[in-house]
Structure 1
Amino acid sequence: MIISQVLPLLSAIFVIGLGFFILLKNLKSSINIVFFFLSVVVTIWLVGTYRMFVSVVDDQIMFWDRFIYIGVVYVPSLMYHFSILFTKQKKQGQSVFLSYVVGTFFLIMSSTPYFVEGVFRYEWGVHSKAQLFHHIFMLYFAVFIGLLFYNVVKFYRFTDSGVARSQARYVLLAFGVLVSIGTLGFLPAYGISIFPFSYLSGLFFTIILAYSILKYRFMDIRFIFKKSTVFLASLLLALGSSYFIFNFLTWNFPRVDNLDILALLVGLLVMQPARLLFGYIANKYFFADIYDYNEVLRDLSHRLTSTIDLDEIATAIVNTVLDSFRLEKTGLVLHKQINSSVRFQSVKVHGFSKQELNTFSNNQFLKKYLEINQGALSVDEIPLRVRRIHDQEFVNNLLALMKLMRELHITLCIPMFKENHLLGLLILGRKISKESYSNKDFELVETLANQASVALDNALLYQKVKDFNLELQNKVDAATKDLMRTNKKLQYTNANLQQLDKAKSEFLSITSHQLRTPLSGIKGYLSMLIDGDFGKMTPRVGKVIKELYQNSERMSRLINTFLNISRIEANRLMLNKTEVDFTELLRTTFNDFKPEAKKKNLKYLLHLPKKNICFYMDSDKIKDVVINLIDNAIKYTLQGEVVISAEMDAKKLTIKVEDTGVGMKPSEIDNLFQKFSRGIGIAQINTGGSGLGLYIVRKITEAHCGKAFAKSRGKDKGSVFGVELPICKKVR
């Protein structure tokens, strides 16, 4: 067998191997499926050529040549279809369908003497002779291959993504090699002798695309490529070990039977350690930047929901991007009040200096640009964006920003927003591998930023409260030290401390009065307007007044929440128990939420026992419990119903609020009644929650010697929240 006969078979092995790699990565991806079929038809061409070269009889040569065209006639159609999917064109279905119809026509014609007939023999091989319809086929081949290059070149020129441009460049190179060299294989059909190096085009095509996959994540098969490489290396080492042991034992113990089984067992024992070793080497030196998208998000979500400390959250975010992308530098800056001004300030850095990040993040044009675009800013894509901007001043500022980013070695800047407010920036430098960021990297880092925004916002709020408490504590400590310095000032200092504590209590009382009194007045006048005490309103005005009233109710509930938190944190949650008609309390609270339930088109029901429920409790605190339970149910129920019920037996009163809302996993329930705790994914449904409502429910219920509970059958299957209160027969 001469080398010219082996070339097609060698190329076929590489092409079909790459096709299977890409298909196995994502069996549902259209572009992966089309590429697989393209690799199949190219393999048919190459395998058929090999069989044709080794055939001697003319009938066999003609058979295998016609077999080749089973694949070749669909090469232009599949290449054109691939270009449509790669460039993300959505309105070319008819042209794709037409290309396959024409290909099918030539498939039918290839079995007739009007397509190929007769055998041309030359020094390096054989080929059938082209006839009339083969000439027409070549025209069809040229048209659709030309459309492939037109689509990819157009995409290359106009895309804003640097990674996509790099991918397009290698697609052009790979298909250019395949077409320019591969089509030379048609020359013998027209009686032109040529060495069959054209069949190496499949090999070159595979090598170029494999490089694109590894460097620019083209069609995203690097993960399976790594797994396959590790497995293949482990298998080869195991087989090599078995082969060596077998030969060694055979040489030294020629008369012993079953040495092959012993050698096979040694190979099996070597296999698993080899996989671990090659896996470690691959992760450390060759595929260090490959990560599992879902695992990264899951891990960060767990870290963010397990703490409220700002430094711990910042560390978790920075370490996550460092570990995922293998970066040289990264940093997190937040919008913070410094003295009397509000500026960006570095809170966690790696590789950068804090001064560098502070200088960059406080660039006024950067803030303006991010607030307008609300997306990641890549230094590599600024030159592409500049081409489409006609405002010269804007262009100059953008180019100056690009220069600053390059001077500081900043590659990517991701804004973090909370309700359209720019909360902070996640700043990334280059990867250690010097590779560019892929589309998958952009998606991951933007999702990370969205997750982190909620956690950072809560942490900043908690930090403010913590700083305020620390400031008060420092004052108390200072006063205590003054007491210890001299006994002469003991009474005076003690009086000051008592006055400070009194002022603290008065502050809470005054704050409550100052916030509640005007709010009550506003609610009263709004209620009178709604009831028509000031005359009839137009429907449009009436709608606005009702919205104002509902917002006032929400603000009132929020004030109660934070006042309760202050009392709980200070261990001053006092109960004022009186005999209360709980039935009336529950009915009144239920009616207060009717407008909100109606606004969301929810079925809103109240189930009460026929006999009134009366017993001793702190009516204000228990009302706060009921308000938080109902408010929680309405917030997270997008459709369906919310049902409030109360049951009483000889020992306890049970209050339940059932909904058909988002539900939750059993693993989430234990943490729901903790401070600042929210279910996974809840932030995407309602961004305004504080994570304090259920915490207050638990604390007030426990103060009444009761317990709070929650149940759910799973995600999107609704939930039940409630409390159990022991029946008090007398005031304690």
Structure 2
Amino acid sequence: MNAFAYSCLITIIFTVVIGFVVFFGHKKQRLNQLWLLVSIFTSLWIVGLFGSVISDNSQQALFWQRILYIGTALITAAFFHYVVVLIKKELKYRRVIVELYLVSATFAILSFTKIFIVEVAARTYFSYWPVETGIVYPIFLFYFAVVVFYSVYLIYKEYRVTDGLRSKQLLYMFIASLIGFVGGSTNFVLDFNLNIYPVGNFFVAFYAIIMAYAIVRYRLMDIRLVISRSLLYLILVAFVTTIFTFLTFFTATVFNDVLGANAILTTFFVSLILVLSLEPLKKYIGKNTDKIFFKARIDYQNVLRMISEIISLEIDLNSLTYSVAKILKEELKLTKAILFLPNKTGGGFTAVADSVQVGTRVTKNHPLLPYLKKYRDLIVTEEMEREIADLPESTEKKRMQLILDELQELDVSLIVPVFVEGEMKSILMLGKKLSGEIFSKDDFDLLEVFSPQLGTALEKAKLYKEVKDFNIKLKEEVKRATSKLRVANQDLGERNVFLENMQSITSLITRTLDFKKVMQGIVNSVSEKLKYIGGILLLVDEEQPNQIHIEAITETPLTKKAIKLLPGSLKEFGDNLSTGTTLTIKAIKTGDYQMGASFADFVSPPVPKAIAVTIQKLLGVRTAIAVPIFSEDRIVGAIIFGLSREQKQISELDYNMMNALADQTGIVYKNLELVNEIKKTNEKLQVANRHLKDLDEAKSEFMSIASHQLRTPLSGIMGYLSMMSEGDFGEMTKEQTHIIQELLDASQRLIRMVNLFLNVTRIEAGRFKLNLEKLDIIKVIQDQIKTMRPTTAKKSLKLEFKIPTVKIPPLELDPDKIKDVVLNLVDNAIKYTEKGGITVFLDKKPESVVVSVKDTGVGIDPLEAEKLFSKFVRGSGISRLSPDGSGLGLFIARKIVDAHKGKIWVESEGAGKGSTFKFELPIK
């Protein structure tokens, strides 16, 4: 065999060994499975190359060349498949992968035909090499080159956008692939009759070596444990074999030559030494290989112990969260560790234990929260990314993509929800590992073990913090409340003084209605109750609205001395609202109080300034305040207060008292105005009342005289008309009889009208008296119905009296007046009923009887019902039915019923629905 064949053999061994080691390291991982497939097809290619180089004849060489191209064709699809899985884009290229496998399989089949390779023969340095190829061969080479170099490009492209450990893995994968395929491609140069030795084939072995280094150094396909243990046992076997051989040879020489022992004893002695030294030797070698392969290995037991100590000892929430985050970040060698706790208000979570991202919020509407609550498990962003890639387009995919984008923005790789009794109490977000490695099962186990403990500790710490905060808040609240109570007590004391003063002032100024005394009492209270030096009360002149005058000045010994300093009487020191420039005038014009240290600014002019200055010194006034007096919506004057304090010493209570006194003055001023107006109005009303009484007496006298004067001739007319209708003056024609009857009816109505007026006159004159006697109410009603039947017959109305089945006892009634009530109610019912009829009911109650007159007439508006019993009131819209009504019938009926200690009322559902008039009389 030549050097070329040896290079092929070495490459085959490396490729097969690495392929199966990777596969058995993680059988179920898709990436490891695909790498085994790539290794098998690569080995098949090199086996074909090796076979063709050592072949003795052209037929063997041609066979091995066809095997070579089967491997070459299948490498193309398998390597592309491996690459897209490595860069996590299998879903994107799923269709391309299937197509490449089909094309590669087609080329593999065609390699056994002459359209691929026609003949092999001697070519430069080799006895047998393809010297004639078919038409498919160039197409295959183009296909191979495009797919392989595009796959290598994908590795390079992914390497440019990654960092950390994964970046190192991709870099070595890129270098190994480039060396392997470029080196292997030099074998195709001879196919085109170019006399160039395929020196690149020697470098293909480096492809396997670089891959082995990437696997060991950078955890490519994560099989360090397999390689570590394989190396351990390889070294152990080699060491044991070497030692056994050496000891056997050495002890055999010693035991046989020196001691004369046999071989069995020698073997026993050597075996004993090996058995005793095997376990210590295994541990020593294992420890050193672990240092090589796992020199950055994490002691998870120690990490758990450290966290458990913090959790069990720390009760301060801030210290607990900071310590846990710090341990995780340092011990697991992470870029960050963020701990989120629930917000007190507004929902959601806030970062509390990361120096950079403290305050970062996960709002209550963030899709991450329901996702964590639903799945209640760790979330690895890389796995989530792959899961999203495998999902079809849907709302769920968009929601998960939104969650992933947010997590990537926070630059976290692992999320750990912390639940306590089914409720999420915290969220732990971990960044990438500084080494670039992915999170392992040991990491997950650690987090799953301590997260429930963390949740309980957080609850304990939060409870402690709440108690601590509550105690601090309680102390502050007690302090604040005590301070407020002290201020409130002081304020309350001042308010009580204020209220007492105002009550005393109110009591003082309301004892009399004398205007001058009241005003003097107000200004006197300035010194007596408010304890100021004194006050001046100025009012707008009622007769000359542009003028103000001094109405009153506080009367004290000092103020009396001050008044004597004036060159004239107080009335001379008024001022003009239009031309005056004092602060008092300004207060009245603007409606705002005015304050100053110079008394002269308030009274000069008209008071000479020198005199004003002298008065200020005499009284000891250090501050003067003019407060306007409001009476409803107008200003009627002002009060000038003189105080012995500086402006800065005047309290809010002082202003309140001055304003209250001014307001009280305005109210008193208005009240006195109203009292004066009422007095004037009362005088006018008394004159008018006397005049009305005179008119009423004259009216009553006229009504009485007129009624008596009308009643006598009407009685005579009715008598003659009655005699004529009965034929006392001879027989009359039908037409004459009708006319006489009409006249008789009209006369009866007129007499009833006269009786009404007489009754009204008696009522108003106080001469309305009852002549009571025992009466049968049933007979009274029957008589009145009999009287009204002719009237109902004319209108074709039905008139009915429902006689009660129970016995009605005799009642003490005035017969004439009760007849008028029944007659009036029945007559009204007939007047205002156009069709249907009238029904009279009599009902007995335990202590009274009720008479009801029900009609089917025009009805009554419920709002008008009560007014109908007033004098001269008629229902709206009924004048068209009975224009001759007086509006007195129901008024008199009520007076009669009231005089009998009864009551009368009306019931109706409304216009057009009839009405029922009722009156109730007591049974005595």
* TM-score interval, normalised by the smaller of the two chains: 0.3 to 0.5
Which structure is higher in RCO with an 8 Å CA cutoff and minimum separation 6?
1
What TM-score do the two structures reach when normalised by structure 1?
A: 0.48
Q: Which has the larger radius of gyration?
A: 2
